[in-house]
């Protein structure tokens, strides 16, 4: 079940956005997590105003975020709860900053102690696809990748390359947002 959200104003026209039901948002969001961690995960999603809300308070250490109904494509993620202050600040900054500027502003806040960020590695799972089939509780054309946040890691401290590829590599080395990307090759269509 979907709810219609009319929230974005472009010029003089309104854009209607379909917001999935809370049950469908939870069902799709937790698919990014390992199977044995899904039931205990906290699930964040969207209300009819497009605001991020807690749909289910979990008992585990993962937070899962439902697909943003205002964004193109399908993307859900789950991450360790210690990353929530960093992730929440990123969502807040989306209205003001984009891309590299947003990353750098958030890293600066971590450096200044304004945003909590764990110093030890923490996991993020990202599941993308072309959509979510609620009847089958499945993502269509799913692709799962893994990210290990390792703040301030460098190629020298990890032995990893900074060259993107299908093998693990280090993104944003030396920053508060440094992380290891693990992006397996996509299955042929």
Give tens-digit pLDDT for 127-136.
999 999 999 9
Given a cut of 70, whether residue 3 has pLDDT beyond it is: no
With bands split at pLDDT 50, 70 and 90, how would you rate the model's confidence at 106? very high
> Rounded to an integer, what distance in angstroms lies between the CA atom of residue 34 and that of residue 52?
23
**90 secondary structure, DSSP code:** H
pLDDT of residue 13: 39
Neighbours of 142 (CB within 10 A): 15
> Rounded to an integer, what distance in angstroms lies between the CA atom of residue 60 and that of residue 68?
23
pLDDT of residue 95: 83
Residues shown for the chain: 189
Its pTM stands at 0.88
Mean pLDDT, range 36-63, rounded to an integer: 97
In tens, the pLDDT along 112-167 reads 999 999 999 999 999 999 999 999 999 999 999 999 999 999 999 999 999 999 89
pLDDT of residue 15: 53
pLDDT of residue 18: 86
With bands split at pLDDT 50, 70 and 90, how would you rate the model's confidence at 53? very high
pLDDT of residue 186: 84
pLDDT of residue 187: 77
> Rounded to an integer, what distance in angstroms lies between the CA atom of residue 66 and that of residue 54?
10
Q: State whether residue 161 is helix, strand or coil.
A: coil
């Amino acid at each position: 079940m979907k709810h219609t959200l009319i929230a974005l104003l472009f010029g003089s026209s309104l854009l209607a956005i379909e917001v999935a039901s809370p049950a469908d948002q939870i069902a799709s969001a937790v698919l990014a997590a390992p199977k044995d961690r899904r039931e205990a995960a906290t699930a964040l999603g969207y209300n009819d105003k497009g605001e991020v809300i807690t749909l289910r308070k979990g008992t585990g250490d993962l937070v899962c975020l439902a697909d943003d109904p205002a964004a193109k494509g399908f993307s859900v993620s789950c991450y360790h709860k210690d990353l929530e202050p960093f992730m929440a600040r990123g969502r807040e900054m989306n209205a003001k900053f984009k891309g590299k500027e947003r990353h750098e502003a958030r890293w600066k806040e971590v450096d200044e102690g304004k945003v909590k960020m764990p110093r030890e590695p923490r996991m993020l799972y990202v599941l993308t696809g072309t959509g979510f089939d609620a009847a089958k509780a499945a993502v269509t054309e799913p692709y799962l990748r893994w990210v290990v946040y390792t703040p301030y890691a460098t190629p020298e401290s990890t032995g990893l390359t900074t060259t993107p590829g299908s093998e693990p590599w280090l993104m944003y080395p030396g920053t508060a947002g440094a992380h290891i990307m693990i992006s397996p090759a996509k299955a042929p269509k």
